Structure 1
């Protein structure tokens, strides 16, 4: 059953002398029980996509398209409904930057218990939720400035879990964590999906996505260029960018992608990866579309 349906979502930031095309014509679905990972290089638009769903973009942002969550278009429902019905209740967020998300004058325990009370849940759940997120209950009595980066990351994860939302958006939730805690956090997200919830995981950690994702959407220069089951993406990548991204991993070819991504203020009319691609032809001057947005996919059956 589809929980979130994103159709043609685009985000533009208007600057004085340019327009940043941060997200372009994105269409995705997240189903109950599914973990969808959105992966790609830094600056490709992954976090902007998440913030658009929460209505947390600055005033110079222009958002178009639809994003229907459990029957409500979160892009057009208005701030009052977002604040009263959506944020924290139907849609949870693990933010990318815990240091800017935590109230500095509240301990972790105060933040958790206040969140639980606001959502009519038992405040006594605070320590259990903290432990589920990998946080020592004793650390709940510390203020955010007394926490390490990894501890702060675990605290914002616990806060997102406290409201038990049907859909959780986790934006780089493993930042600052050592490998055992990375695995702990990923397994926690996976269990939520196995229990009937859903997770949209935003990450540049391809190993993390491979470990837990059902479906992977690969983002490049504001667009989704490949959207397929995870086992297919990691086993037989179809888009040249996906293959190059995987080949850059240390446990694979460890080969960097040549060149640089285009500026989001000057995207080409056709394929944005063409300038870095060995398979480029004249056809690439036209914008490719589909679950594998490439005129010359590595696997012709994948494009179909």
Structure 2
């Protein structure tokens, strides 16, 4: 799924070595917030990738970097090459000027479903009017009815104002807007936050269906149950770093990283045992492995985590101290 070299087959968006940091405060109180650290991620056509992890680990910052929505205080390194299938030339998202992101990328090549979608609609205008305006701005041929159908919304929603929508309707209206330009990449940032379980299942099933139509879909969520139900691939993030990635079935069946195992152990059907302790602040990340203070198997984790890649899977850990990691991978630490 990931790796520093060539991208996996079918990759539409290849992220390599992405670092995002913010300088906050002034003078002696200034500090650096390391929001994303050395992230490698492939988003592939026809597959839904779930980016999971506890709140505040950097998941949303990663998507903001990909869409050029970070504030001016952010420093960014790495690459994010968008290669649209049969559409246009590749675009390097991290260095593209705002004019390119505005006119070529946002809405047309990359659709974004934001958190709390209702707040992104103008409160004094109907949903239908705003969807119609979005279609016109993008020069799209679809109709408002088409968008409502794609998002599994009844037609009468077009006549409603944002405050008249239920939570589930608001999230699906945000999805409808993101689909207006028929983008090959869809980034859904916590689209199920605040929804009850039936609505969570409904929204994630919709996203899985959109991936099945050929899109590369990134579902950002802290809901591991939802991710396990619909993801083709999974990326697990902890304290700014992707600690484990790979095919979802493989990762969920046999996690390599202790944090992934801890998240799965916190699910109700696995005993509901939470990961002990709390994640560190991104402005005060420790040296070495940030998970070591919470890790049940940590040993000498003072150095940077060692990336290990095998069979389409990747883990960033200290292999000699990770018993869940296959012996072949432990012996080949750092190999590709």
Q: Could you tell me whether the CA contact under 8 Å between 2:23 and 2:33 is conserved in 1?
A: yes
Using structure 1 for the length normalisation, give the TM-score: 0.95
1:299 matches 2:299:
no
Counterparts of 2:204 and 2:136 in 1: how far apart (Å)? 27
What is aligned with 1:141?
159
Contact 2:259 2:291 in 1 (8 A): yes
Deviation at 1:174, TM superposition (A): 1.9
Pick the aligned partner of 2:119 from 96, 100, 119. 100
Distance 1:169 1:127 in 2: 22
List aligned pairs for 1:92-131, cutoff 5 A.
Answer: 92-122=111-141, 125-131=143-149
User: Contact conserved, 1:94 with 1:173, CA < 8 A, in 2?
Assistant: yes
Residue 302 of structure 1 and its aligned partner are, at CA, apart by 5.8
With over 3 angstroms needed to count, the CA separation of the structure-2 counterparts of 1:181 and 1:129, relative to structure 1, is farther
Q: Is residue 47 from structure 1 mapped to residue 60 from structure 2 by the alignment?
A: yes
Distance 1:247 1:227 in 2: 18
Match of residue 194 from structure 1: 212
Structure 2: distance between partners of 1:157 and 1:75: 24
Q: Which residue of 2 aligns with 1:36?
A: 49
2:79 aligned counterpart, secondary structure: strand
Deviation of 1:191 (Å): 2.0
Q: Is the 8 A contact 1:39 1:219 kept in 2?
A: yes
> Equivalent of 2:255, from 213, 237, 241?
237
What runs of 5+ residues in structure 2 fail to find an aligned partner? 1-9, 84-89, 308-313
| Cα pair 2:114 2:191 within 8 Å, conserved | yes
Q: Deviations over 1:71-93 (max 9, x none)?
A: 21111011011001000000000
Runs of 4+ in 1 over 4 A off after TM superposition: 301-304
SS state of the match for residue 292, structure 1?
strand
| Alignment map for 1:64-213 (pairs within 5 Å) | 64-70=77-83, 71-122=90-141, 125-213=143-231
Alignment partners' CA distance in 2, 1:167 and 1:22: 23
Structure-2 separation of matches of 1:105 and 1:76 = 36
Spell out, residue by residue over 1:117-143, the C-alpha distance to the aligned partner (whole angstroms, 9 max, x if none). Answer: 2222345x2123213323222122121
What are structure 1's unaligned runs of at least 5 residues? none
Q: Is the aligned partner of 1:20 residue 2:72? A: no
Residues 153, 176 of structure 1: 8 Å contact kept: no
Q: How many residues align?
A: 302
1:286 corresponds in structure 2 to: 303
Aligned equivalents of 1:188 and 1:148: distance in 2? 17
Q: Pick one of 239, 261, 279 that aligns with 1:221.
A: 239
- Residue 6 of structure 1 is matched in structure 2 by 15
**Aligned alpha-carbon RMSD (Å):** 1.5
